[in-house]
Structure 1
Amino acid sequence: MGRPRKISKDDILDAAERVIEHLGSTGLSIDAVAQKAGISKSRVVYDHKSKSGLLEALVARQMAREMADVAEAVVRHRHTLHPELFARIELASRSLTDTDRAIVMAVSASMSSAEHLQDRIREWKCIDMDAMQAGPRPEAAVMAYLALTGMFCLDLFGHPQWTASEKATILDGVRSIYENLPLNTPPIFPKT
């Protein structure tokens, strides 16, 4: 007889992502995740307490992944005018997966009643805004970042669906906002 398979917290979160991808946010439940992971419901509850806890763990994991990707991209862009901005522009060229979109929809649907999820997302965006304002030409960086964020939100919701060439053109435009915004632009963004 073989050893029982060890299930990690990441295995549970992977199962939650698969549930969301296949059933949407309405299909996410402790039972569905336990079944998908092949474990007991009590194990999911022990690790995450609730559906909201699962979503918060998914957000935290995605934040950690994204922050690691940004850190690596900042190193690649260390010789640009604004490494933090140009790193995020590079990462925005990636294609989003159906799982990415499904998770965002699930988190979005839950945010109205889960203030701690709102706090996590705000924390994530404050990190980005602080990075934009810490570099040279902070007003231009914030304007470009806002354009980048708008493009990303549209991309998450799958409309419009840009080709790789169209997306590259848009991202060149975002770079252009940073590079060409007049230097006498008054500071309009408070520090987060």
Structure 2
Amino acid sequence: MARTKKVTTHEILDAIERVVVKLGVSRLSIDAVAQEAGISKSRVVYDYKSKTALLEALIDRQFQRDKERIGMLVRECAESPHPELFARIKLAEQAPDDIERAVAMAVSSSMSSEVSLQRKMREWTVHDLKAMEAGEKPEAARIVYFTLIGFNCHEWFGLVNWSSQERYSFLEGIRAMYASHPESQAPTTHTT
């Protein structure tokens, strides 16, 4: 009698990432993940009922990674003018890897038709914007945060490939934007 292969949720998530990196989001499917993980389709369906569920799991995993890295970097940047902002800038010092790029492309190509993915991205943005309000000069922090997002998006989508020196120089400019931006007397509020 053949033994059923034991596989963890972590291993299934690894398989989802590999499928997206190798084949792209358009070919992401429960079948492709099952084949990549070397398990039955029913085992994948047990945890992820649809392609949307696979994408949500992929996003959740990337957000969790980012949250952990940002938490560590906030502690490293505790003496900076705005630890939450400067942690995110420091995170951008490292070029995105193939998995981060694939996740960004998967999210981007799927968001227009997937309300649940839009909601997850909106929640993450609100989370980040609240973090920008937590330090000094929240208006400046929001402006610089959106500048940083623009910088990151170009790399995530493969539109620009910065050298380490170019990346560091640009990020120093972003840090200088925050330092030189005067805070207005009346703070602005955002709505989502």
Which residue of structure 1 lines up, in the alignment, with residue 39 of structure 2?
39
| 8 Å CA contact retained: 2:139, 2:184 | no
* Unmatched segments (≥5 aa) in structure 2: none
Matched, 1:26 2:26: yes
Aligned sequence identity (%) = 48
C-alpha displacement at 1:115, in angstroms? Answer: 0.6
| 8 Å CA contact retained: 1:139, 1:186 | no
Using the alignment, how far apart are the partners of 1:25 and 1:31 within structure 2? 13
| 8 Å CA contact retained: 1:155, 1:161 | yes
C-alpha displacement at 1:96, in angstroms? Answer: 1.0
Which residue of structure 2 lines up, in the alignment, with residue 120 of structure 1?
120
Which residue of structure 2 lines up, in the alignment, with residue 173 of structure 1?
173
Q: Secondary structure at the match of 1:142?
A: helix
Using the alignment, how far apart are the partners of 1:27 and 1:170 within structure 2? 35
User: How many residues are treated as equivalent by the alignment?
Assistant: 192
C-alpha displacement at 1:189, in angstroms? Answer: 3.6
Matches within 5 A, 1:38-117: 38-117=38-117
| 8 Å CA contact retained: 1:139, 1:188 | yes
Q: For residue 26 of structure 1, what is the amino acid of its counterpart? A: S
| 8 Å CA contact retained: 2:62, 2:100 | no
C-alpha displacement at 1:152, in angstroms? Answer: 0.4
C-alpha displacement at 1:113, in angstroms? Answer: 1.4
* Unmatched segments (≥5 aa) in structure 1: none
Render the CA deviation track for 1:23-66: whole Å, top value 9, x for unaligned.
11111111010000000001111101111001001111111111
Which residue of structure 2 lines up, in the alignment, with residue 10 of structure 1?
10
| 8 Å CA contact retained: 2:5, 2:39 | no
Q: Secondary structure at the match of 1:162?
A: coil
Matched, 1:140 2:144: no
C-alpha displacement at 1:191, in angstroms? Answer: 6.1
Using the alignment, how far apart are the partners of 1:59 and 1:161 within structure 2? 23
Render the CA deviation track for 1:136-165: whole Å, top value 9, x for unaligned.
110111111111011000111112211111
Q: Secondary structure at the match of 2:95?
A: coil
Please, what TM-score do these two structures have when normalized by structure 1? Answer: 0.94
| 8 Å CA contact retained: 2:140, 2:178 | yes
Please, what TM-score do these two structures have when normalized by structure 2? Answer: 0.94
Using the alignment, how far apart are the partners of 1:185 and 1:163 within structure 2? 39
Q: For residue 94 of structure 1, what is the amino acid of its counterpart? A: Q
Supply the RMSD in Å over aligned alpha carbons. 1.7
Using the alignment, how far apart are the partners of 1:169 and 1:68 within structure 2? 25
Q: Secondary structure at the match of 2:144?
A: helix
Which residue of structure 2 lines up, in the alignment, with residue 159 of structure 1?
159
4-13 vs 135-144, greater mean Cα deviation:
4-13
Cα distance change, pair 191–83 in 1 and its aligned pair in 2 (3 A): farther
Using the alignment, how far apart are the partners of 2:54 and 2:185 within structure 1? 43
| 8 Å CA contact retained: 1:139, 1:185 | no
